[in-house]
């Protein structure tokens, strides 16, 4: 019983950590879209560009944050499955870039490692949670 509760808390903590990471980028995008693009040395040159970064990184990021909080409280397994896909597809996108456009810079390399590791953690927690009934 204690193992189940501990596993659930670890899973919820991972979901919360992921949600907060996404929220931090979302807040940055809402307040200053250029600051998000400065991370990859891209200059926003028109209002449509600013609006798009606010929408994708700000609005979508906030939606992901809220969704993850809901899943953390109501269905930890689905939250872990969602994060497995989210972090996995982020990593896949960077891998596709390597094959399509060439080697990543330092920023891309670091995030490929980070997103791959987060995907792996989510998958391990998901598989472990499938084996052990979890109390929500």
Q: What is the arithmetic mean of pLDDT over 82-109?
A: 97
Residue-wise pLDDT for 105-134, tens only, equals 999 999 999 999 999 999 999 999 876 554
Q: Where are the domains of the chain?
A: 2-131
Residue-wise pLDDT for 35-66, tens only, equals 999 999 999 999 999 999 999 999 999 999 99
Q: Residue 134 has what pLDDT?
A: 46
Residue-wise pLDDT for 8-34, tens only, equals 999 999 999 999 999 999 999 999 999
Tell me the angle at which helices 76-101 and 2-31 cross, rounded to the nearest 10 degrees: 50
Q: Residue 4 has what pLDDT?
A: 85
């Amino acid at each position: 019983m204690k193992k189940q509760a501990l596993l659930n808390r670890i899973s919820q903590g991972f979901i919360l950590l992921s949600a907060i990471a996404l929220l931090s980028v979302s807040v940055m995008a809402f307040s200053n879209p250029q600051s998000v693009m400065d991370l990859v040395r891209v200059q926003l040159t028109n209002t449509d560009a600013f609006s798009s970064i606010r929408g994708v990184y700000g609005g979508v990021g906030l939606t992901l944050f809220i969704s993850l909080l809901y899943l953390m409280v109501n269905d930890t397994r689905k939250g872990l499955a969602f994060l497995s896909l989210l972090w996995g597809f982020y990593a896949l996108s960077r891998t596709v870039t390597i094959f399509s456009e060439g080697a990543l810079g330092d920023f891309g390399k670091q995030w490929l490692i980070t997103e791959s590791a987060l995907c792996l953690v989510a998958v391990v927690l998901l598989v472990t949670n499938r084996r052990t009934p979890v109390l929500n």
